[in-house]
Structure 1
Amino acid sequence: MKKRTIALVAILAMLAFIVTGCGGSGGGDQEKPAAEKKFFNIATGGTAGVYYPLGGAIAEILNKNVEGANAKVQSTGASVANVNMLAKGEVQIAFIQNDIAYYAANGTEMFKDNKVENMRAVATIYPEIVQLVTLEKSGIKSVADLKGKRVAVGAAGSSVTANAQHVLEAAGLSFEDIDEQYLSFAEAANGLKDGNIDAAFVTAGVPTAAIQDIIAQHKVVVIPVTSEMADKMIEKYPFYTKVVIPADAYKQAQDVETVGVKAMLVVTDQMDEQTAYEITKAIFDNVEDLKTAHAVGQYISKESAKDGLSIPLHPGAEKFFNE
């Protein structure tokens, strides 16, 4: 009986030693629990476009500055495809033009009968500029002069077509007043060079390669969207902003007034406020990294991040901008 008691005491002592050893010397020495992983798939565009390199830079920023972030980019068909992927929960962050976001949120244009109401903006980032170009020999000097002319209005179903309609509307015209041609940027450039069209709408960053290609052979004129026209457009379509194309971009005599839409970063209302706040803060605290990633990074700033918003701002992003 005595031997059993001694053995039991020894076992209990050993167990106490093991428990004490596992517990460490004190609460201050315990390892901090790992942060919960936050996975962010970022929908961008084609690998040769602007969205993809910017998306890569943003993924790197989030991975470095948001605790637990695991962000990666995904090449996609750009804005329209990104709306659908975001709505289905296939991605958590998406690059979307603000006019496309507006159409989706309101169930118009290419989203007729397919309304998407759960999108929330993180910020607008840089302008995609509406450019109306012609050759000097055409004699076209204003939007009103397009009446009866052959005009490229973007590829069928593209956002450029809607941009063209809105510009014409501001000048009191419609597609019924022109001979509209549904052409891609490259096709429009060739059409102008060959004399098959008289003018072309192009919505893209400045300078645009397709327009530069024309300049190599012809004197190009960029037709202004006047401030008065821009005001009409903005009143009816709030996603537009006033933009100036520098004279040296296309060898013009002076700067040219026009309008632009904006590329946006978009999430959904399923993202919690704190996460959206951390994402927004990380991006705008590291804007220099975006400038390094692509030339359009020069346009990205906290001061302009709410210009041209076409859908509601996420509460988390709003918290950051109100600080």
Structure 2
Amino acid sequence: MKKRLVTLTALAVAAMMAFTGCGGGNSSSDQAAEGGAEGSSAGAVQLTLGTGGTTGTYYAVGGTMSTVLNNAMENVSLKVVSTGASKANILDIDEKISDIAIVQNDVMYYAFNGTDLFEADGSFDTFSAVAGIYDETCQIIAGPGITSIADLKGETVNVGDAGSGVEFNATQILAAYGIDINKDINKVNGSFGDAADSIKDGKIDAAFITAGAPTTAVVDLAISKDINLLTIDDEHAEALMKEYPFYTKTIIPGGTYSCVADDVQTLSVRATIIAGNDLTEDTVYELTKALFENKDALANSNAKFAELDANAAVQGISVPFHPGAEKYFKEIGAIS
């Protein structure tokens, strides 16, 4: 297990979690003692589900999973916790603070291989994939004078927060078009909201945003200013998918944003559920099966689950599946 520096506050939280039984301890005696959440069996194995910030999509998705699946599973229950999202969730599972988590599939690829976001941390092999649940789309937003990714050379472009997954997406996509992110554009780092405001005010020319479409910041921008969504054509999409197996092709339908009438092809990464490798096959099998057998109830509570599909769930997954998830997907023919 890799260790990271933690603050006194984090240590106190970890100690409290261990004392109350809300952490990632996975021995059968610990799990039996914890009991189940509301709607689940008293002896259910309680899994801590790492998500993201309390105002973010991951936290809302996790809450829906807990509400719906705790009433559907007999032997497993979910306890949702707010976290620092993808990278923090990888580290939390490694340290057994969480048992399962939601991450971007590109971030889990970096973690498994010890590259990019995890170059300084090294590789992690303490987690495995459960299922991709919905697309987080690489949206390249530009002012009306820019109509292709090649046009970004020499322009001022927001590429997401420094060191973020968005910045790595931008680096990879620009490089496919022969553009060096550090030499060939005027790189600006900032949030989605910052990017939208800066395009509106004419301070920047374009921005990379990796998020589910429609994205609120872009919806608001498109109401007040004409924008273009830039296409990733087949040739470049295929090259990127070959080099980075976490990417999948995506179409942003025309009308998603008010001033973009036509469909636009781009790439997506997927919000993906991962699990600690120490979880039993039976536990993860029950969770995976319940996830797909309760799709309608999940989608009724959170629109993100409308994208849930067993065949799509195994696409763009470039790390091993947990044996429990693999068993389910083989049963239904999603993998061979």
What TM-score range do you get, normalising by the shorter chain?
Answer: 0.7 to 0.9
User: 1:322 aligns to what SS in structure 2?
Assistant: helix
Shift of 1:68: 3.3
CA contact (8 A) 1:53 1:293 kept: no
What is aligned with 2:212? Answer: 205
What is aligned with 2:238? Answer: 231
What pairs up with 1:76-87 in 2 under 5 angstroms?
Answer: 76-87=83-94
What is aligned with 2:142? Answer: 134
- Asked whether 1:297 is paired with 2:305, we answer yes
What is aligned with 2:177? Answer: 171
Normalized per residue, which structure has more helix? Answer: 1
CA contact (8 A) 1:50 1:294 kept: no
Aligned partner of 1:167: which letter? I
Q: Please tell me the root mean square deviation across aligned C-alpha atoms, in Å.
A: 1.4
TM-score scaled by length of structure 2: 0.83
CA contact (8 A) 1:227 1:258 kept: no
CA contact (8 A) 1:151 1:178 kept: yes
Q: Which moved more, 1:272-281 or 1:62-71?
A: 62-71
What is aligned with 1:113? Answer: 120
Shift of 1:150: 0.6
Task: Report percent identity of matched pairs.
Answer: 42
CA contact (8 A) 2:75 2:283 kept: no
Shift of 1:186: 1.0
What is aligned with 1:28? Answer: none
What is the rounded CA distance, in whole Å, between the counterparts of 1:219 and 1:70 in structure 2?
47
What is aligned with 2:253? Answer: 246
Aligned partner of 2:99: which letter? Q
Q: Which moved more, 1:169-178 or 1:124-133?
A: 169-178
- Asked whether 1:274 is paired with 2:282, we answer yes
- Number of paired residues? 288
User: 1:169 aligns to what SS in structure 2?
Assistant: helix
User: 2:238 aligns to what SS in structure 1?
Assistant: helix
What is aligned with 2:38? Answer: none
What is the rounded CA distance, in whole Å, between the counterparts of 1:63 and 1:253 in structure 2?
41
Of the candidates 96, 103, 119, which is equivalent to residue 103 of structure 2? 96
What is the rounded CA distance, in whole Å, between the counterparts of 2:224 and 2:282 in structure 1?
54
What is the rounded CA distance, in whole Å, between the counterparts of 1:253 and 1:54 in structure 2?
29
Shift of 1:144: 0.6
CA contact (8 A) 2:253 2:262 kept: yes
Aligned partner of 1:169: which letter? A
Aligned partner of 1:322: which letter? K
Shift of 1:36: 4.3
What is aligned with 1:18? Answer: none
User: 2:312 aligns to what SS in structure 1?
Assistant: coil
What is the rounded CA distance, in whole Å, between the counterparts of 1:233 and 1:293 in structure 2?
34
Aligned partner of 1:312: which letter? P
User: 2:314 aligns to what SS in structure 1?
Assistant: coil
Deviation per residue, 1:286-311 (Å, 9 max, x gap)? 01122022111110011211011021
What is aligned with 1:74? Answer: 81
What is aligned with 1:17? Answer: none
If you compute each CA radius of gyration, which structure gives the higher value, 1 or 2? 1
What is the rounded CA distance, in whole Å, between the counterparts of 1:291 and 1:169 in structure 2?
37
CA contact (8 A) 2:253 2:264 kept: yes
Of the candidates 33, 45, 49, which is equivalent to residue 38 of structure 1? 45
Change (3 A) 1:186 1:35: closer
Aligned partner of 1:228: which letter? E
Aligned partner of 1:290: which letter? L
Shift of 1:182: 0.8
Of the candidates 283, 295, 308, which is equivalent to residue 291 of structure 2? 283
CA contact (8 A) 1:61 1:283 kept: no
What is aligned with 2:202? Answer: 195
CA contact (8 A) 2:93 2:126 kept: no
Shift of 1:206: 0.7
What is aligned with 2:11? Answer: none
Shift of 1:63: 2.2
Shift of 1:35: 7.2
User: 1:248 aligns to what SS in structure 2?
Assistant: coil
What is aligned with 1:155? Answer: 161
Shift of 1:37: 3.4
Q: Which moved more, 1:110-119 or 1:250-259?
A: 110-119
What is the rounded CA distance, in whole Å, between the counterparts of 1:232 and 1:275 in structure 2?
38
CA contact (8 A) 2:109 2:319 kept: yes
What is the rounded CA distance, in whole Å, between the counterparts of 1:314 and 1:86 in structure 2?
14
5+ residue gaps, structure 1, are 1-33
Deviation per residue, 1:218-266 (Å, 9 max, x gap)? 1111111112111011000000000000110113131000000000000
Q: Which moved more, 1:284-293 or 1:159-168?
A: 284-293
5+ residue gaps, structure 2, are 1-40, 332-336
What is the rounded CA distance, in whole Å, between the counterparts of 2:248 and 2:63 in structure 1?
27
